[in-house]
Amino acid sequence: QFMAATGGRGVDIVLDSLAGEFVDTSLRLLPRGGRFLEMGKTDIRDSGEIAARYPGVHYRAFDLWDAGPDRIAEMLADLETMFDEEIIVPLPVTTFDIRRAREAFRYFGQARHIGKIALSMPVGEAGVDSGVVSAVSAGTVVITGGTGGLGSMLARHLVVEYGVRSLVLASRRGPGAPGAAELVAELSGLGARVRVLACDVSERGDVVELLAAVPQDAPLTGVVHTAGVLDDGVVVSLTPDRVDAVLAAKADAAWYLHELTRELDLRLFVLYSSVAGVLGTAGQGAYAAANAFLDGLAEYRRGEGRSAVSIAWGLWAAGTGMTGHLGGSDTARLSRGGVVAMPDEQGLALFDAAVAQHRAGVVAARVDTASLAAGARAGTLVPLLEGMLPGGRRVTGGAVGLRQRLAGLTEPERKALVLDTVRGQVAAVLGHESGVVIDAGRNFRDLGFDSLTAVETRNRLNTATGLRLPATLVFDYPTPDAVTAHILTELTDTEISDSLSRLEREVMDMVDSKTLTKEFYSRLLNLTRIASQVNEDPDASPSEDVMSMSDQKLLDLLEDEFGIS
């Protein structure tokens, strides 16, 4: 059809994402000088073979990553602006309630739509879901970590709001846990039958015994896994034993609960996860991995048609077993990420909302937009949270701005500017209003640094300077003054490297376009010979003026130096 429509001329450009015979058919449409741009990944051809079979046709397989992260970032920023100004608009989405799935597939089969077709899940109303209440109240709910802060809080909530009359609470110390006897007395007074068991849920045998403790007259209707172990530390400090302990309490225990109840028709299977697994939090690599496993397990159970929801909790205001160890600096660090502590009643309301809806995973956290905005200005905002800012725009350009401000300054002025930047970032990490209070000659350890604040400072300075500084920055350079000197050295080296890269690109562009001149050859070779001779002998000077060379000798030298002919 294309050949007929063009009078046999074909087309000049093909943008392809197909494979097999469609590629060959498209190639036959191209005349000499035509260009074939392969956008797909499933049928990439050899450009030499294409040139032999289709003379004069230029073939190129497109890979976005070849553009590099900086160019990709520029393109994304341009696209965002174009969307904001409605120069381009998102593809339309036609949404059907999942209960109208048959109608949605019929509509899809007609192939007349533009854009995407999506199925939506009904969202429960705020408050306790009556369907969940009726399903769980008649049986027993098992809560791991049941005598801890979050577990005991949830036990009360299930008894009061959901009418649960049978609970089995598991914890490592069982009845001997602090407050366990008082909790049992309180719940019994509310009309519930409560058993508290000492149980290591990271051991499969213990989980078998735990489930066997469910009363026969009140069969298991729900499981809530709140147990966990927290062992913070930067990655280089983690040992296999430390990682195993965290994974066992969260991931192994969750799998045993799933495996041993998979044949039961549970109405509740709730996993207490953490935003650490969604956003990534400094010093919690093992904990993030364990919670990401919980999120995946909930998806897996849903895929099997079983109930499950993984709730990625943020910070609770009440000190719990998982957060009670946090000091003021730890809480401040987490708050700078935008996630701030929420009161108990808000957390329990989010639990109600989570178990009433039909998603496998939800994030239940209180987010402070002022902290998000500050993180955006510092360049440390987690990308997943960018959309929560007014306008959804990430603040960028800090590194470029610093380099532009350094350009043209004297050496003392450059040092002062970089030192101000370092002190400002250190102050932000330590919770101070201004960098003025930071003594530039004082050791970071004396300023109150630990491994986590060290990593956060490094990350902030990476963003501010555009450099890739080592994780051990504040230990290798133990004062703000020392860090400043190191950054100045790195920036100078980077500026020289960037200049050489630009020159290299320009030379190669001229080589490709055959626009190199004898004068350019001469000046480039003079610079090369000067640099080479200075390295060999600081007192040496160029022995021959390349301007006087013949063209052939000049080309020979150029080929020797650069491999260009």
Query: For the residues 372-392, what does the mean pLDDT come to?
Result: 72
Tokens at 434, concatenated: 């201004």
Does the pLDDT at position 172 exceed 70?
A: yes
Task: Note the pLDDT tens digit of each residue in 37-80.
Answer: 998 888 889 888 999 999 999 999 988 888 888 888 889 989 98
What percent of the chain stands above pLDDT 70? Answer: 85
Residue that wins the pLDDT comparison between 155 and 565: 155
366 DSSP β-pair partners: 340
Determine which helix (DSSP H) or strand (DSSP E) holds 434, and give its type and residue range.
Answer: none
Measured distance CA(383)–CA(395) in Å, rounded: 11
Closest CA to 542 of 517, 524, 559: 524
Task: Note the pLDDT tens digit of each residue in 68-86.
Answer: 888 888 899 899 889 888 8
- What is the predicted pLDDT for the residue at 397? 47
Residues 6+ apart with CB under 8 A from 186: 156
Measured distance CA(530)–CA(545) in Å, rounded: 11
pTM over 0.95? The answer is no
Of the options 3.40.50.300, 3.40.30.10, 3.30.70.1070, 3.40.50.720, the CATH number for the domain spanning 1-69: 3.40.50.720
Is 59:45 a contact under the CB 8 Å cutoff?
Answer: yes
Tokens at 433, concatenated: 């209003």
Is 479:440 a contact under the CB 8 Å cutoff?
Answer: yes
- What is the predicted pLDDT for the residue at 486? 93
Kindly report the CATH number that applies to the domain delimited by 397-494. 1.10.1200.10
Of the options 2.30.300.10, 3.40.50.720, 3.40.50.300, 2.170.130.30, the CATH number for the domain spanning 130-364: 3.40.50.720
Is 365:314 a contact under the CB 8 Å cutoff?
Answer: yes
* Residue 412 neighbours by CB distance under 10 Å: 8
Distances (CA, A) of 113 to 35, 117, 118: 31, 8, 12
3-class SS shares of the chain: helix, strand, coil, % to 5: 55, 10, 35
Collapse the DSSP code of 128 into the 3-class scheme (helix H, G, I; strand E, B; otherwise coil) and give the result: coil
**Residue 70: exposed, middle, or buried by beta-carbon count in 10 A (0-12, 13-18, 19+)?**
exposed
Count CA atoms closer than 13 A to 166's CA, side-chain side.
17
70 backbone φψ class: left, alpha, beta (φ>0; ψ -120 to 50): alpha
The full set of domain ranges for the chain reads 1-69, 90-121, 130-364, 397-494, 517-564
Least confident residue range of 294-303, 305-314, 451-460, 527-536: 527-536
Rounded (5°) CA angle 520-499-77: 120
Is 235:243 a contact under the CB 8 Å cutoff?
Answer: no
Measured distance CA(100)–CA(111) in Å, rounded: 18
Is 386:451 a contact under the CB 8 Å cutoff?
Answer: no
Measured distance CA(336)–CA(469) in Å, rounded: 21
Measured distance CA(108)–CA(94) in Å, rounded: 10
- What is the predicted pLDDT for the residue at 297? 97
Q: What value does the mean pLDDT of the chain take?
A: 83
Collapse the DSSP code of 38 into the 3-class scheme (helix H, G, I; strand E, B; otherwise coil) and give the result: strand
Least confident residue range of 90-99, 230-239, 276-285: 230-239
Query: For the residues 162-176, what does the mean pLDDT come to?
Result: 95
Collapse the DSSP code of 268 into the 3-class scheme (helix H, G, I; strand E, B; otherwise coil) and give the result: strand
Instruction: Please report which confidence band the pLDDT of residue 354 belongs to, taking 50, 70 and 90 as the band edges.
Output: very high
Is 47:69 a contact under the CB 8 Å cutoff?
Answer: no
Closest CA to 385 of 281, 541, 462, 460: 281
Task: Note the pLDDT tens digit of each residue in 410-421.
Answer: 889 999 999 999
Same fold, 130-364 and 397-494: no
Residues 6+ apart with CB under 8 A from 427: 433, 434, 435, 436, 437, 438
Is 169:143 a contact under the CB 8 Å cutoff?
Answer: yes
Task: Note the pLDDT tens digit of each residue in 419-462.
Answer: 999 999 998 888 787 889 999 999 998 998 877 788 888 888 98
Query: For the residues 254-271, what does the mean pLDDT come to?
Result: 95
- What is the predicted pLDDT for the residue at 467? 86
Query: For the residues 171-188, what does the mean pLDDT come to?
Result: 95
Tokens at 41, concatenated: 């990944």
Instruction: Please report which confidence band the pLDDT of residue 558 belongs to, taking 50, 70 and 90 as the band edges.
Output: very low
Task: Note the pLDDT tens digit of each residue in 228-240.
Answer: 887 776 676 778 8
Measured distance CA(446)–CA(479) in Å, rounded: 10
Measured distance CA(310)–CA(363) in Å, rounded: 8
